[in-house]
Chain A
Amino acid sequence: MMKYFDPHIHMVSRTTDDYQRMSAAGIVGVIEPAFWQGQPRSSVGSFIDYFDTIIGWERFRASQFGIRHYCTIGLNPKEANDVSLAREVMQVLPRYLNKDGVVAVGEIGYDDITPEEDNFLTAQFDLAKEYGLPVLVHTPHRDKKGGVQRTLDVIRDVGINPEMVIIDHLNEQTLPMVKETDCWCGHSVYPNTKMSEQRMVRLLRQYGTEKMVVNSAADWGVSDPLKVPKTGDAMRAAGFTDAQITQVLYANPIAFFAQSGRITQQEVDAGVKIDQSQLWQENSALRGQEPLVEC
């Protein structure tokens, strides 16, 4: 069965039904970006506990379904506007950026495109440079073109390598802007809004598969955690080869985030092994034996 990788999905708001369906559809790895929770957080403790969740409990939850879970850590654009709280969050980010499985700074970007959002976006690009991490950028829901243009300007001003930046939630209007740079291009396939499988196929036909990434951005709203394999089906129906489908929906996202040094295609290929020999062994020999592998 073809393997898929969803590099932008908020699993903390999804149920085990989703994990089961994702696993059955061939998704073997996900990246969960740090974002807001639907209502503003009131203290840095909420951020800390959320960060701990996406590096800890959610990673374990995913592993129970044979899915490798990675995350990005950052201060999201919406909450950058609560300046005193945002400053406290910036103080704790370094502790998390060091952790295994944290593959990028993100999701950062613009929401309303305010000066405060500007400041914290720039500061986090600087952090990314310092830690050698790639960056996941969210484009705003409103004034997408303005948001993308401002983002590209900041990337240039900060002097971060554009290859280390992926700009997400792109569409027919904003993709060509990013295509003029060396940044990677992310697209979120959402029911009804953002992007559909068919529109995605048309974009891939027009722009090719290089540096093109697709995700579901599934979250607490009406969204579909199977959009990546469904895009694969649409690509196949449109005449793309298996190699091209694997390129866009598996190899590309992993390659982008592998620039962090915290994820490799090899380890995603190897899958999650729930090491039975650690928990329940049928024989007296300890490790060194072949562990019972689930999934």
Chain B
Amino acid sequence: MILKENNMQDSTMLFDHLLLDHLRVYLSGKARTWFQNTLQALAQGDQDFFTLSAMAKRNVGDANLPAPFMSWSCDEAARVLLLKHWLQTHPGKKREMVGQAYRFGDDDEKIAIMKGLSLLDKTGELVALAITAGRTNSLALFAAVALRNAYAAAHYDERAFNQLVLKALFLGLDLRQMSGLPTRLNATLSHLCLDLAVERLAAHRPLPKSIRLAVAFNHLSEQQRRVFLNNKVDDDEIF
């Protein structure tokens, strides 16, 4: 048990260091200098986090990082790493500080924070903030919470996770990009998807793409399974 926890902690710490190293290596010239200087200034309490975060994109640009971080852009990585450094100056106030960073952030800053949740929080204390963020109608911000993000699958309770999946389906997003979905399948979700499928069929609309990925067929009767297997999904078959 203890060994398992240590491995988890090690691998996420490794992720943190890797992201930082990748950003440092990828940035060059003035961008790299700016980033190095601001990390130091933050640690010494010399500079205001909110100002630095607001200015980050203009200083480091928004190019994508290379593999394995190609779903991160430089400004997103910089903003999350700045936030992490700022948190370290005031231990024990994480929820308050991340909440404030989120509240004062523009959409891109909010997106960076959502993407970085697993970096910022290992225990799930920021779940309420993530759920609040997920209420957005802004597609990019919602996608930052729901897609390519291990946080929800790791920390949401079943009800919240099911709602996230349903909203992703409503917004036409690709559940293949929903991290950890196979580990969180459950009977309630399978039936919610069934209801959604029946609703779409009644409206003579095709099923949402990738809906089958949210269904555990062993939870359904033969007749219920046929709803998914016999009807068209939006566009071509994906598998």
A contact set with B: CB distance below 8 Å: 52, 55-57, 59-60, 95, 98-101, 261-262, 278-281, 286-288
**Which of the listed residues B71, B137, B172, B174 has the most CB atoms from chain A within 10 Å of its own CB?**
B174
Mask, B88-116, CB within 8 Å of A = 1, is: 00000000000000001011100000000
B138 pairs with A100, CB closer than 8 A: no
A100 pairs with B108, CB closer than 8 A: yes
Query: Closest residue of chain B to A262, judged by CB?
Result: B58
Contact (A60, B138) CB under 8 Å given A280-B174, A288-B70: yes
Could you say which of B22-30, B32-40, B47-55 contacts chain A? Answer: B47-55
What chain B residues lie within 8 Å of A100 (beta carbons)? 54, 57-58, 106, 108
Chain B residues within 8 Å of chain A by Cβ, number = 25
B138 pairs with A99, CB closer than 8 A: no
How far is it, in angstroms, between the C-alpha of A101 and the C-alpha of B58 when the chains are bound? 10
Q: How far is the CB of B172 from chain A (nearest CB, A)?
A: 7
Could you say which of B122-130, B139-147, B188-196, B213-221 contacts chain A? Answer: B139-147
Contact (A59, B107) CB under 8 Å given A278-B143, A280-B172, A287-B71: yes
What chain B residues lie within 8 Å of A278 (beta carbons)? 140, 143, 147
Q: How far is the CB of A283 from chain B (nearest CB, A)?
A: 11
Q: B173 at interface (Cβ–Cβ under 8 A)?
A: yes
Show 5 A/B contacts (Cβ-Cβ < 8 Å), sorted by A: A60-B138, A60-B139, A98-B51, A280-B174, A287-B71
Query: Do most interface residues of chain A lie in helix, strand or loop, or is the interface mixed?
Result: loop
Q: Which residue of B106, B140, B176, B177 contacts A99 across the interface (Cβ within 8 Å)? A: B106
How far is it, in angstroms, between the C-alpha of A99 and the C-alpha of B176 when the chains are bound? 34
How far is it, in angstroms, between the C-alpha of A279 and the C-alpha of B71 when the chains are bound? 11
What chain B residues lie within 8 Å of A262 (beta carbons)? 58
A280 pairs with B138, CB closer than 8 A: no
How far is it, in angstroms, between the C-alpha of A100 and the C-alpha of B78 when the chains are bound? 15
Contact (A286, B172) CB under 8 Å given A56-B107, A100-B57: no
B107 pairs with A60, CB closer than 8 A: yes
Q: B64 at interface (Cβ–Cβ under 8 A)?
A: yes
A95 pairs with B64, CB closer than 8 A: no
Q: Which residue of B54, B58, B70 contacts A286 across the interface (Cβ within 8 Å)? A: B70
Q: How far is the CB of B193 from chain A (nearest CB, A)?
A: 18
Query: Closest residue of chain A to B66, judged by CB?
Result: A288
Q: B209 at interface (Cβ–Cβ under 8 A)?
A: yes
Contact (A279, B139) CB under 8 Å given A55-B106, A56-B106, A100-B54: yes
How far is it, in angstroms, between the C-alpha of A101 and the C-alpha of B140 when the chains are bound? 17
How far is it, in angstroms, between the C-alpha of A98 and the C-alpha of B56 when the chains are bound? 10
How far is it, in angstroms, between the C-alpha of A95 and the C-alpha of B137 when the chains are bound? 24
What chain B residues lie within 8 Å of A52 (beta carbons)? 106
How far is it, in angstroms, between the C-alpha of A99 and the C-alpha of B53 when the chains are bound? 9
Query: Closest residue of chain B to A276, judged by CB?
Result: B174
Besides A52-B106, A98-B51, A278-B140, 19 other A-B contacts (C-beta < 8 A): A57-B138, A59-B107, A60-B107, A60-B138, A95-B54, A100-B54, A100-B58, A261-B58, A262-B58, A278-B147, A279-B139, A279-B147, A279-B173, A280-B174, A281-B176, A281-B177, A286-B70, A288-B64, A288-B70
A98 pairs with B55, CB closer than 8 A: yes
B70 pairs with A287, CB closer than 8 A: yes
How far is it, in angstroms, between the C-alpha of A278 and the C-alpha of B71 when the chains are bound? 8
Q: How far is the CB of B216 from chain A (nearest CB, A)?
A: 23
How far is it, in angstroms, between the C-alpha of A262 and the C-alpha of B57 when the chains are bound? 10
